[in-house]
Amino acid sequence: MPKPPSRRKNPASPASTDSKNEDISQQEDPATATITVTAVEIPELTEQEISDRLHLERKVERAFFEAGKALMELRDRKLYRSTHKTFEEYCRDRFGHNRRQSYLLMDAAVIFDNLEQKCDRNDHILPTNEWQVRPLSKLDPDIQPEAWEQAVESAKGKVPSHRIVKDAVQRIMERTQIPNTYQLGEVCQILAKDNPELRGKGGCWGIVNHVGEFSCTVKIWDGEYSIGLKHLKSYNYLPAECQQMQVICDRISRVYSDSLEDTAKNLLQLLGKVNRPYLTELEEKLLSLLESEVKVYIAVNV
Protein backbone atom coordinates (compact mmCIF):
# COMPACT_ATOMS: atom_id res chain seq x y z
CA MET A 1 0.00 0.00 0.00
CA PRO A 2 1.32 3.46 -0.70
CA LYS A 3 2.43 5.37 2.39
CA PRO A 4 0.42 8.45 3.36
CA PRO A 5 2.17 11.70 2.69
CA SER A 6 4.10 12.98 5.68
CA ARG A 7 2.95 16.22 7.30
CA ARG A 8 6.07 18.12 8.09
CA LYS A 9 5.97 21.65 9.38
CA ASN A 10 7.44 24.16 7.12
CA PRO A 11 10.09 26.31 8.72
CA ALA A 12 8.90 29.78 9.51
CA SER A 13 9.74 32.29 6.94
CA PRO A 14 12.02 35.16 7.87
CA ALA A 15 9.20 37.56 7.20
CA SER A 16 6.87 35.91 9.70
CA THR A 17 9.63 35.69 12.33
CA ASP A 18 10.40 39.36 11.96
CA SER A 19 6.68 40.14 12.31
CA LYS A 20 6.44 38.28 15.60
CA ASN A 21 9.56 39.92 17.00
CA GLU A 22 8.16 43.28 15.97
CA ASP A 23 4.87 42.54 17.81
CA ILE A 24 6.72 41.52 20.99
CA SER A 25 8.93 44.56 20.91
CA GLN A 26 5.89 46.80 20.58
CA GLN A 27 4.12 45.32 23.67
CA GLU A 28 4.02 47.54 26.73
CA ASP A 29 5.86 46.77 29.94
CA PRO A 30 3.25 45.17 32.34
CA ALA A 31 4.58 47.31 35.18
CA THR A 32 3.66 50.46 33.30
CA ALA A 33 0.46 49.21 31.68
CA THR A 34 -2.62 51.36 32.12
CA ILE A 35 -5.86 49.67 33.21
CA THR A 36 -9.09 51.39 32.38
CA VAL A 37 -11.80 51.08 35.05
CA THR A 38 -15.32 52.20 34.37
CA ALA A 39 -16.67 54.24 37.29
CA VAL A 40 -20.08 53.25 38.62
CA GLU A 41 -22.07 56.00 40.23
CA ILE A 42 -23.69 54.96 43.57
CA PRO A 43 -26.72 57.07 44.32
CA GLU A 44 -26.95 58.71 47.73
CA LEU A 45 -29.60 57.44 50.15
CA THR A 46 -32.83 59.33 50.17
CA GLU A 47 -34.24 60.71 53.41
CA GLN A 48 -36.77 57.86 53.47
CA GLU A 49 -34.01 55.25 52.96
CA ILE A 50 -31.96 56.79 55.76
CA SER A 51 -35.01 56.60 58.04
CA ASP A 52 -35.68 52.98 57.01
CA ARG A 53 -32.06 52.02 57.61
CA LEU A 54 -32.08 53.56 61.09
CA HIS A 55 -35.34 51.82 61.92
CA LEU A 56 -34.03 48.42 60.78
CA GLU A 57 -30.72 48.90 62.63
CA ARG A 58 -32.63 49.59 65.82
CA LYS A 59 -34.58 46.36 65.29
CA VAL A 60 -31.36 44.37 64.98
CA GLU A 61 -29.86 46.06 68.05
CA ARG A 62 -32.97 45.41 70.14
CA ALA A 63 -33.47 41.80 69.03
CA PHE A 64 -32.07 40.28 72.22
CA PHE A 65 -34.02 42.79 74.31
CA GLU A 66 -37.30 41.89 72.60
CA ALA A 67 -36.50 38.19 73.04
CA GLY A 68 -35.87 38.67 76.75
CA LYS A 69 -39.09 40.64 77.23
CA ALA A 70 -41.09 38.00 75.36
CA LEU A 71 -39.58 35.22 77.47
CA MET A 72 -40.49 37.08 80.67
CA GLU A 73 -44.10 37.37 79.57
CA LEU A 74 -44.23 33.70 78.58
CA ARG A 75 -42.87 32.78 82.00
CA ASP A 76 -44.90 35.18 84.13
CA ARG A 77 -48.21 34.31 82.42
CA LYS A 78 -47.30 30.60 82.29
CA LEU A 79 -48.29 30.44 78.65
CA TYR A 80 -46.34 27.19 78.37
CA ARG A 81 -48.62 25.29 80.77
CA SER A 82 -50.74 23.61 78.09
CA THR A 83 -47.75 21.67 76.72
CA HIS A 84 -45.02 21.68 79.38
CA LYS A 85 -44.75 21.37 83.14
CA THR A 86 -41.90 23.82 83.53
CA PHE A 87 -40.72 26.97 81.79
CA GLU A 88 -37.23 25.49 81.38
CA GLU A 89 -38.54 22.42 79.51
CA TYR A 90 -40.66 24.64 77.29
CA CYS A 91 -37.70 26.85 76.32
CA ARG A 92 -35.56 23.82 75.61
CA ASP A 93 -38.13 22.18 73.34
CA ARG A 94 -39.48 25.32 71.66
CA PHE A 95 -36.34 27.45 71.25
CA GLY A 96 -33.48 25.00 71.79
CA HIS A 97 -32.29 26.98 74.82
CA ASN A 98 -30.21 25.39 77.54
CA ARG A 99 -31.24 26.03 81.13
CA ARG A 100 -29.30 29.31 81.50
CA GLN A 101 -29.85 30.84 78.07
CA SER A 102 -33.42 31.99 78.61
CA TYR A 103 -32.59 33.51 81.98
CA LEU A 104 -29.55 35.28 80.52
CA LEU A 105 -31.76 36.90 77.89
CA MET A 106 -34.36 37.93 80.48
CA ASP A 107 -31.74 39.47 82.77
CA ALA A 108 -30.14 41.25 79.81
CA ALA A 109 -33.52 42.71 78.85
CA VAL A 110 -33.92 44.20 82.33
CA ILE A 111 -30.44 45.76 82.15
CA PHE A 112 -31.05 47.06 78.61
CA ASP A 113 -34.29 48.69 79.73
CA ASN A 114 -32.44 50.32 82.63
CA LEU A 115 -29.71 51.68 80.32
CA GLU A 116 -32.23 52.93 77.78
CA GLN A 117 -34.05 54.93 80.45
CA LYS A 118 -31.02 56.38 82.27
CA CYS A 119 -28.19 56.76 79.77
CA ASP A 120 -27.67 59.89 77.69
CA ARG A 121 -30.18 59.62 74.86
CA ASN A 122 -28.03 61.85 72.64
CA ASP A 123 -25.36 59.15 72.39
CA HIS A 124 -27.68 56.45 71.02
CA ILE A 125 -25.08 53.85 72.02
CA LEU A 126 -26.85 50.86 73.51
CA PRO A 127 -25.93 47.16 73.76
CA THR A 128 -26.53 44.95 70.75
CA ASN A 129 -26.29 41.53 72.41
CA GLU A 130 -26.62 39.80 75.76
CA TRP A 131 -22.88 39.05 76.10
CA GLN A 132 -22.04 42.77 76.21
CA VAL A 133 -24.25 43.53 79.21
CA ARG A 134 -23.63 40.39 81.25
CA PRO A 135 -20.86 41.97 83.41
CA LEU A 136 -23.28 44.74 84.44
CA SER A 137 -25.37 42.22 86.39
CA LYS A 138 -22.81 42.46 89.21
CA LEU A 139 -23.68 46.11 89.82
CA ASP A 140 -26.73 47.77 91.34
CA PRO A 141 -29.13 49.15 88.72
CA ASP A 142 -28.27 52.73 89.73
CA ILE A 143 -24.59 52.18 88.90
CA GLN A 144 -25.04 50.19 85.69
CA PRO A 145 -25.51 53.28 83.45
CA GLU A 146 -22.28 54.81 84.76
CA ALA A 147 -20.34 51.65 83.98
CA TRP A 148 -21.88 51.41 80.51
CA GLU A 149 -21.06 55.03 79.66
CA GLN A 150 -17.46 54.52 80.80
CA ALA A 151 -17.26 51.45 78.57
CA VAL A 152 -18.63 53.41 75.58
CA GLU A 153 -16.03 56.09 76.21
CA SER A 154 -13.26 53.48 76.34
CA ALA A 155 -14.55 52.08 73.04
CA LYS A 156 -14.22 55.59 71.51
CA GLY A 157 -17.92 56.06 70.99
CA LYS A 158 -18.63 52.62 69.58
CA VAL A 159 -20.55 49.71 71.08
CA PRO A 160 -18.11 48.28 73.66
CA SER A 161 -17.11 44.63 73.74
CA HIS A 162 -17.71 42.28 76.66
CA ARG A 163 -14.10 42.73 77.79
CA ILE A 164 -14.33 46.54 77.81
CA VAL A 165 -17.58 46.45 79.82
CA LYS A 166 -16.07 43.93 82.24
CA ASP A 167 -13.05 46.19 82.78
CA ALA A 168 -15.31 49.17 83.49
CA VAL A 169 -17.32 47.14 86.01
CA GLN A 170 -14.13 45.98 87.70
CA ARG A 171 -12.83 49.55 88.05
CA ILE A 172 -16.07 50.64 89.69
CA MET A 173 -16.03 47.67 92.07
CA GLU A 174 -12.43 48.42 93.07
CA ARG A 175 -13.27 52.09 93.57
CA THR A 176 -15.98 51.29 96.09
CA GLN A 177 -13.42 49.48 98.29
CA ILE A 178 -16.06 47.29 99.91
CA PRO A 179 -14.36 44.19 101.37
CA ASN A 180 -17.61 42.24 101.35
CA THR A 181 -18.92 42.00 97.79
CA TYR A 182 -21.81 39.63 98.56
CA GLN A 183 -25.30 40.93 97.90
CA LEU A 184 -28.65 40.28 99.52
CA GLY A 185 -30.34 37.29 97.94
CA GLU A 186 -27.10 35.83 96.58
CA VAL A 187 -26.74 32.05 96.74
CA CYS A 188 -23.55 30.82 98.44
CA GLN A 189 -22.00 27.53 99.38
CA ILE A 190 -20.73 27.00 102.94
CA LEU A 191 -17.09 25.91 103.29
CA ALA A 192 -16.80 24.29 106.71
CA LYS A 193 -13.05 23.58 106.71
CA ASP A 194 -11.14 24.71 109.84
CA ASN A 195 -14.37 25.86 111.49
CA PRO A 196 -15.83 23.39 113.99
CA GLU A 197 -18.92 25.59 114.41
CA LEU A 198 -19.91 24.73 110.85
CA ARG A 199 -19.50 21.00 111.24
CA GLY A 200 -22.17 19.22 109.23
CA LYS A 201 -22.91 22.34 107.18
CA GLY A 202 -20.15 21.96 104.62
CA GLY A 203 -21.49 21.92 101.09
CA CYS A 204 -24.87 23.38 102.07
CA TRP A 205 -26.18 26.25 99.98
CA GLY A 206 -27.77 29.28 101.55
CA ILE A 207 -29.31 32.66 100.81
CA VAL A 208 -27.51 35.80 101.99
CA ASN A 209 -30.03 37.89 103.97
CA HIS A 210 -27.60 40.22 105.75
CA VAL A 211 -24.26 41.64 104.62
CA GLY A 212 -21.83 42.69 107.34
CA GLU A 213 -18.36 44.16 107.03
CA PHE A 214 -16.54 40.84 107.08
CA SER A 215 -19.34 38.27 107.34
CA CYS A 216 -22.79 37.40 106.07
CA THR A 217 -25.90 36.01 107.65
CA VAL A 218 -26.94 33.05 105.54
CA LYS A 219 -30.26 31.21 105.63
CA ILE A 220 -29.93 27.48 104.95
CA TRP A 221 -32.24 24.47 105.20
CA ASP A 222 -32.40 24.38 109.03
CA GLY A 223 -31.90 28.00 110.11
CA GLU A 224 -29.72 31.09 109.89
CA TYR A 225 -25.99 31.33 110.52
CA SER A 226 -23.46 34.17 110.66
CA ILE A 227 -20.51 33.06 108.55
CA GLY A 228 -17.17 34.70 107.77
CA LEU A 229 -16.30 35.50 104.19
CA LYS A 230 -13.54 32.91 103.93
CA HIS A 231 -16.12 30.20 104.67
CA LEU A 232 -18.42 31.28 101.83
CA LYS A 233 -18.22 30.72 98.11
CA SER A 234 -20.63 32.31 95.65
CA TYR A 235 -22.34 30.10 93.10
CA ASN A 236 -22.48 33.11 90.73
CA TYR A 237 -26.08 32.31 89.88
CA LEU A 238 -28.06 34.67 87.71
CA PRO A 239 -30.56 36.97 89.50
CA ALA A 240 -33.50 34.88 88.27
CA GLU A 241 -31.82 31.71 89.51
CA CYS A 242 -31.21 33.32 92.92
CA GLN A 243 -34.90 34.18 93.14
CA GLN A 244 -35.77 30.62 92.27
CA MET A 245 -33.49 29.30 95.02
CA GLN A 246 -35.01 31.82 97.46
CA VAL A 247 -38.42 30.25 96.84
CA ILE A 248 -37.02 26.76 97.43
CA CYS A 249 -35.28 27.91 100.61
CA ASP A 250 -38.50 29.42 101.96
CA ARG A 251 -40.40 26.21 101.22
CA ILE A 252 -37.82 24.08 103.03
CA SER A 253 -37.80 26.45 106.03
CA ARG A 254 -41.58 26.25 106.36
CA VAL A 255 -41.43 22.47 106.38
CA TYR A 256 -38.45 22.00 108.72
CA SER A 257 -38.86 21.63 112.47
CA ASP A 258 -37.02 19.76 115.23
CA SER A 259 -40.03 17.48 115.65
CA LEU A 260 -39.71 16.02 112.15
CA GLU A 261 -38.68 12.40 111.78
CA ASP A 262 -35.05 11.78 110.93
CA THR A 263 -35.95 10.53 107.46
CA ALA A 264 -37.65 13.83 106.63
CA LYS A 265 -34.76 15.83 108.10
CA ASN A 266 -32.27 13.86 106.03
CA LEU A 267 -34.28 14.57 102.89
CA LEU A 268 -34.34 18.30 103.62
CA GLN A 269 -30.61 18.26 104.29
CA LEU A 270 -29.99 16.60 100.93
CA LEU A 271 -32.12 19.25 99.21
CA GLY A 272 -30.08 21.84 101.10
CA LYS A 273 -26.92 20.60 99.40
CA VAL A 274 -27.95 20.53 95.75
CA ASN A 275 -25.32 22.32 93.67
CA ARG A 276 -27.66 23.54 90.94
CA PRO A 277 -30.29 26.32 90.82
CA TYR A 278 -33.31 24.03 90.56
CA LEU A 279 -34.87 20.82 91.85
CA THR A 280 -35.29 17.74 89.71
CA GLU A 281 -38.77 16.45 89.03
CA LEU A 282 -38.36 13.74 91.71
CA GLU A 283 -36.98 16.21 94.26
CA GLU A 284 -39.89 18.54 93.58
CA LYS A 285 -42.37 15.70 94.17
CA LEU A 286 -40.70 14.71 97.45
CA LEU A 287 -40.68 18.28 98.74
CA SER A 288 -44.33 18.75 97.72
CA LEU A 289 -45.21 15.54 99.55
CA LEU A 290 -43.52 16.78 102.72
CA GLU A 291 -45.33 20.10 102.43
CA SER A 292 -48.70 18.39 102.14
CA GLU A 293 -47.95 16.06 105.08
CA VAL A 294 -46.92 18.96 107.31
CA LYS A 295 -50.10 20.85 106.43
CA VAL A 296 -52.19 17.82 107.38
CA TYR A 297 -50.23 17.39 110.65
CA ILE A 298 -50.72 21.05 111.58
CA ALA A 299 -54.44 20.94 110.73
CA VAL A 300 -54.98 17.85 112.87
CA ASN A 301 -53.09 19.21 115.86
CA VAL A 302 -54.46 22.73 115.86
Per-residue pLDDT, averaged over 245-269, amounts to 91
Query: Residue 281's pLDDT is what?
Result: 93
Question: Residue 28 — very low, low, confident or very high, per pLDDT cuts 50/70/90?
Answer: low
pLDDT of residue 206: 95
pLDDT, residue 284, reads: 94
- Helix (H) / strand (E) element for 208: namely strand 205-211
Q: What does the mean pLDDT of the chain come to?
A: 83
Asked if residue 16 has pLDDT above 60, the reply is: no
**Domain residue ranges in the chain:** 52-176, 187-301
Of residues 173 and 244, more confidently modeled: 244
User: SS3 for 142?
Assistant: coil
65-74 long-range Cβ contacts below 8 angstroms, 24+ apart:
65/108, 65/109, 65/112, 65/113, 66/109, 67/105, 67/109, 68/105, 68/106, 68/107, 68/108, 68/109, 68/110, 68/112, 68/130, 69/109, 71/102, 71/105, 71/106, 71/109, 72/106, 72/109
pLDDT of residue 57: 76
Enumerate the β-bridge partners of residue 227: 216
Of 100, 116, 103, 121, which Cα lies nearest the Cα of 67?
A: 103
- pLDDT at site 251: 93
Question: Average pLDDT of 88-96?
Answer: 92
Give pLDDT, residue 141: 85
Span 188-199, mean pLDDT?
82
Residue predicted with more confidence, 237 or 199: 237
**For the chain, percent of residues with pLDDT exceeding 70:** 82
Comparing C-alpha atoms, which of 193, 219, 217 is closest to residue 205?
219
Look at residue 24 in the predicted model and tell me its pLDDT. Answer: 47
Determine the distance from the C-alpha atom of residue 111 to the mean position of all C-alpha atoms in its chain, rounded to a whole number: 12
Answer yes or no: is pLDDT of 107 > 80: yes
Q: Average pLDDT in the 173-193 region?
A: 82
pLDDT mean over 151-169:
92
Poorest-pLDDT segment among 105-114, 187-196, 204-213, 251-260 = 187-196
